[in-house]
Structures are given as structure tokens and as C-alpha cells.
Structure 1
């Protein structure tokens, strides 16, 4: 179980381990967050909050493969993440699903089967089913050569009709390590505005 959270609106970062959520969190907040080469560094939600505005960014633990973590523990972390999002859906202004732009389509294809829904696809639809505004931050795009094709393929796997450019309120290509996250912050700003939280624009 996760520890108690501050009572305020939030933006949550969710996704597989090692896709760069903590690096993105650092770029969004300007504050150092534990990152590491080994997947699974984040085991509890990392909150960065502004009490005066009753708002925070939250980096949720990654799911999927983690070095030295049993399958049972991995499943528990995923369950805890899902429960956290369900329990706090009314306070989540935006859910940001962070994926690795270079590998996400291959991972989705590898885990697609008659009785298997890939984690990334499942989480995307889970957020939307809860009516949480959802943005897919497609990270590490500096390592992708066939940018438009790759983003079109991702849209296709998520059930969004390509081309990806018609989904710029949902698909945000970024490179957190290089500090290039404007596609995401622009989209977050639009969502804040839609929810009458223009007071939060100064944090982007």
C-alpha cells in the first residue's frame, strides 16, 4: 500500500519502469528526483507539491520488469498504482502516460494476444475510462529516426486514428533528458485552462 497523499489537485505520471518518468518529473518541477539505470527505483509515489495552490505533480512507481523484484511484488505495485488512480480520480487534473518512443510500439506488439492486453494500452484506456484527461508523453524521441511513422504506429495501437498530428492534445513527443518537454507543457496548459486552473500555468 502507498502512503497517504496530500489532499490537493495533481498531475500524475504513470508508465513502465525505465521510461524516464523521474527524469521528466525533474524537468517539470526543477527539483532533483531519484533516478537510476536500474528499473524500479521509484517504489512509492514521489509528490512535489505547492501548498498555496493546492497542487502537486506525482511520479507513480513504474510497472513491468524490475531488476531483482519478484513477479508478485511487480503485480502488487501495479495494483497499488491502479488503486491510487481510482481512489484519487476526482483530484487528478491530467494523467500523463510516459512511454519510451523508441521501444513502445515493439513492446505493445510483443504483448498483444488473444488473452493479453499490453500494459501501456490498458493504462491509457483505464485513465480515459475514469474520465481523466490523458496525455501520452512519448519520451526519448531524440533517439527515434522515423518520428512521424513511429508516432502514427503508436496512435494506431492505442486506438487513435493516425496521423498523430491530429491528436496533439493527447500525444506529446518529448525528450526529458535533453530538457525538450514543450509539447507536454503546452498540452498540460491547455488542460489546466479547460479546467479553470489558469493559476497553475506558472508551473509549466
Structure 2
């Protein structure tokens, strides 16, 4: 179990598969630069950002799922730690952001959908919502997607959200973190912060 969480009452937590651009997105949001790379699984422990004057932390949890060069039992242990962290601190979360790769998410979900298997992304989305955490799906790398609306509709369908995607703008946020185009995510997060009377945190998103 991850042990290094700052003692903060409020938190926005970021989760997602390895290599979906989560660390790039966190760098864009926090202004902090840290170890990222083309190698999946670089982040093995949470990165916590409690730089604000408020009783508030932004957390980047390790990537889950397949990681090149990482053994299966280690991957499972990381995923178990992520789940335990989310369960333990759910009451502190003002929002969770599930980051997915806009170009490949639907294909990955379809490839892992069987009678015996729920894809990690779908499982994580529903798990967060079952915990009662307002959850935004940040659909990253949209600059590489040609059929934008169709792709977002398909993703909504896989997540159990009735298309068209435009009616879920507090849940589905198309972004391109590498280009700094994250306005849709900031707006969705502000909606959830406002609903919980935390407008003072708008300055961070």
C-alpha cells in the first residue's frame, strides 16, 4: 500500500493505463516536471502535489495494465495498491480523472471484453463511480484522432453512457495534453468542484 500521502482533506486523483500521457497531463496542470518517458510504468509510486495554499492535493497514481518489461505479478500488485488507495481515501476525493488514449482506448476495451473479463478502463470507471467519486474521463491524444465524434460516441457506449458524447461534458473531456489543450478537462473539473462548494480551487484547473 502506498504510504506517502500528504495529510490533506481534499484531493483530485488521476488514474489510467500506462503510457496514456497521464504524466504529461499532470505536468501541464501542476507546472511540475518529473520523470516521464516512452517507457511504460515509469511512475511506480504516487506523485503528490500539495503545492497549493489550500488543504488540497493532486495525486498522480501509477499506471496500471500492461507494462513492457514488468512482470505480471508486479503489475497486479501495483493495481491492487491503486484499488486499496482509492478505497481508503474515497471520502477525500473531490473528483477522479481517468486518463485514456483517445486513439486506442476503444480498441483496447474491445480486445479485452469477454464473458470472463472486464477491461481495466471500464472496470476503473465504474469502480470510482461506485465509490461515489465524481469521475471525469480525460480522452487524451485527440490530435491523432480523425473521426473525433464517432470515436467519443464509441467510448461512451463502452463505458455505459448513452451517446452522443456531447451530453456528458462533465464526464467525457477530449484533450491533447502535449499541446496544452486541456480546457475541456478543466471545465469538467470546475463543474464538480463548484457542485461541492470549492470554487476556491478553480485557480488550479
Whether the TM-score (by the shorter chain) exceeds 0.5 is yes
Alpha-carbon separation, structure 1, partners of 2:131 and 2:24: 26
Alpha-carbon separation, structure 1, partners of 2:20 and 2:168: 21
Alpha-carbon separation, structure 2, partners of 1:33 and 1:128: 29
Alpha-carbon separation, structure 2, partners of 1:33 and 1:22: 8
Gaps of 5+ in 2: none
What is the number of residues matched between the two proteins?
Answer: 204
Alpha-carbon separation, structure 2, partners of 1:59 and 1:51: 16
Alignment of 1:137-152 (within 5 A): 137-152=138-153
Moved over 2 A (4+): none
Deviations 1:88-134 (A, max 9, x none): 00001101000000000000000000000000000000000000000
Check whether the contact 1:3–1:44 (CA below 8 A) recurs between aligned residues. Answer: no
Check whether the contact 1:98–1:136 (CA below 8 A) recurs between aligned residues. Answer: yes
Deviations 1:123-170 (A, max 9, x none): 000000000000000000000000000000000000000000000010
2:13 match: 12
159 and 28 in structure 1: CA distance in 2 versus 1, 3 angstrom threshold: same
* TM-score normalised to structure 1 length: 0.98
1:161 match: 162
Deviations 1:59-104 (A, max 9, x none): 0000111121100000000000000000000001101000000000
SS in structure 2 of the partner of residue 84 of structure 1: helix
1:3 match: 3
| 1:198 equivalenced with 2:195 (yes/no) | no
| 1:79 equivalenced with 2:80 (yes/no) | yes
Alpha-carbon separation, structure 2, partners of 1:123 and 1:181: 22
Check whether the contact 1:99–1:138 (CA below 8 A) recurs between aligned residues. Answer: yes
Deviates more, 1:48-57 or 1:186-195: 48-57
SS in structure 2 of the partner of residue 50 of structure 1: coil
2:109 match: 108
Alignment of 1:6-155 (within 5 A): 6-8=6-8, 9-50=10-51, 52-155=53-156
SS in structure 1 of the partner of residue 12 of structure 2: strand
